[in-house]
């Protein structure tokens, strides 16, 4: 049987076997490197980490790595640290997403209006967003510092605080203070996404509402909010996915402490994987977190899609 290819444009060659012409084959060959890279850097690690999660792998015991099936997953759910971390993560995510979204809507409403300095304010808004996460964490850690922190200095000078206090050392406040740092950084992007959506709302709708006698609040509820649905959905899903997996701020500001006050799921995974070097349970926890993020995002989309 001949294997000679027909090189004519649109020629038959092996088309009868592969169903591909010269253009398709060229495209496939050119796309192949990208697909190969994606397979190597994305698909393979994802599948391999799942394989790891089915083994009892402790790096400091390299000679034993038994296959344990789903035991690592069962072990996680028996671990009280896991449920503690779930509680902390839920609280942190709810606070961060709710406050970020509310503030973003308010800022977007403000910047959607024309007033002197509006452009400068919009530009300044992007500064926190452009600040690298590590810098953001360090900056807020210094602001909260118990000996030279700006927050202490400000409150003492205003007479609202008698003496300097260890803000991050207070387990009742730790998560809220970290959430504040996260909100400061994330809110600008959320506001930007909402402004873009707001700009797309036709002025006719507002004029019609005014003619119907709607006040500012009614126009917001009946015109702005429904039109914001795509933007809000994007903000909620994005912020939820980011917040639930937040790690950098916890590493820089509290290392999961004080005690277990900021022991979130991401921190637990870090401790399990990179400090205890238990890669099997660490991988299993990562899968649980990924699934939780996926399900939560799906629920938000479904819920918001029906409500708005």
Partner 1 sequence: MTMSVKSPVPRRRVLAGLAAAPALLAGMSPRGAAAQAGGTVNFVGWSAAVDQVKAQISAFERATNLRVNYENFPWAQYRTALVTRLVGNAPIDVAWISDAWLPEFAEAGWLAEINDVPQLMRYNAEAAEYCTQSMIYGGKQYGLAYYGDHMSFMYNTEILQRAGISTPPTTWDEVVQQSLRIKQQGISEFPLLLSLAADTWLIEFVSALTFAFGGRFTDEQGNAVMADANRGAVRAARFMREAIHTHKIVSAGAVETPEINGLRAMGGGSHAFGIVPTYRIRALNDPSQASAAGKIRIALMPKGGPDGTNATCGWIRFYGMTPGAKQDRARRERAVKFVEFFGGRDTSGEYSMQRLLLTDVGLPTCAMPLAQDPVVQQFWQRWAGGGEVIAQQATLAKKKDVISPWFGEWVETSNQAWQSVCLGRAEPEAAMRTAAAKWTELKRAFR
Positions that interact with partner 1 (CB under 8 A): 9-10, 21-23, 26, 29, 33, 59-63, 146-147, 163, 165-166, 168-171, 254-261, 263, 271, 274-278
> With respect to partner 1, which residue has the nearer C-beta, 169 or 230?
169
Classify residue 85 as exposed, middle or buried by CB count within 10 Å of its CB (0-12, 13-18, 19+). buried
* Shortest CB 254 distance to partner 1, Å: 7
Query: For partner 1, which is the closer residue by CB, 133 or 297?
Result: 133
Closest to partner 1 by CB, 230 or 260: 260
Residue 231 has φ and ψ, to the nearest 5°, of -65, -45
State the Cα–Cα distance between residues 109 and 228, nearest whole angstrom: 11
Tell me which residue of 149, 146, 151 sits closest to 165, measured CA to CA: 146
Nearer Cβ to partner 1 (44/274): 274
CB of 299 to partner 1, least distance (A): 32
The distance of closest approach from Cβ of residue 274 to partner 1 in the complex, given in angstroms and rounded to an integer, is: 5
Give the pair of three-digit tokens for residue 58: 């402790």
Residue from 134, 87, 129 nearest 260 by CA: 87
Q: Which two tokens stand for residue 84?
A: 């503690």
Angle (CA) 192-186-244 rounded to 5° is 130
Nearer to partner 1, 22 or 184 (CB): 22
DSSP code at position 3:
-
Minimum CB distance to partner 1, residue 61 (Å)? 6
CB of 82 to partner 1, least distance (A): 14
Which letter does DSSP use for residue 272 in this model?
I
User: Closest Cα to residue 103, out of 164, 156, 24, 182?
Assistant: 182
User: Residue 36 or 46: which CB sits closer to partner 1?
Assistant: 36
Helices (H) and strands (E) in the chain, counts: 16, 0
Q: How far is the CB of 259 from partner 1 (least distance, A)?
A: 4
């Amino acid at each position: 049987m001949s294997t000679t290819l027909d090189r004519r444009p649109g020629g038959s060659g092996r088309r009868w076997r592969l169903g591909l012409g010269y253009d398709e084959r060229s495209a496939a060959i050119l796309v192949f490197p990208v697909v190969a890279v994606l397979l190597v850097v994305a698909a393979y690690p994802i599948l391999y980490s799942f394989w790891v999660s089915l083994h009892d792998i402790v790096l400091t015991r390299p000679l034993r790595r038994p296959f344990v099936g789903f035991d690592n997953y069962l072990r996680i759910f028996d671990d009280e640290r896991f449920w503690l971390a779930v509680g902390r993560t839920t609280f942190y995510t709810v606070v961060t997403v709710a406050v970020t979204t509310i503030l973003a809507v308010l800022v977007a409403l403000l910047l959607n209006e024309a007033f002197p300095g509006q452009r400068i304010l919009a530009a300044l808004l992007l500064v926190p967003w452009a600040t690298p996460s590590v810098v953001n964490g360090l900056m807020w850690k210094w602001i909260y510092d118990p000996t030279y922190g700006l927050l202490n200095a400000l409150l003492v000078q205003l007479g609202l605080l008698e003496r300097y206090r260890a803000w991050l050392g207070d387990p009742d406040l730790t998560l809220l203070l970290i959430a504040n740092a996260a909100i400061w950084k994330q809110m600008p992007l959320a506001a930007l996404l909402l402004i873009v959506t707001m700009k797309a709302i036709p002025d006719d709708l507002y004029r019609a509402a005014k003619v119907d006698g709607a006040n500012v609040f009614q126009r917001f509820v009946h015109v702005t909010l429904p039109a914001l649905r795509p933007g809000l959905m994007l903000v909620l899903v994005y912020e939820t996915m980011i917040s639930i997996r937040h790690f950098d701020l916890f590493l820089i500001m509290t290392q999961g402490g004080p005690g277990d006050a900021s022991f979130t799921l991401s921190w637990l995974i870090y401790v399990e994987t990179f400090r205890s070097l238990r890669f099997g349970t660490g991988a299993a926890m990562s899968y649980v977190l990924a699934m939780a993020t996926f399900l939560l995002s799906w629920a938000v989309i479904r819920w918001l899609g029906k409500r708005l």
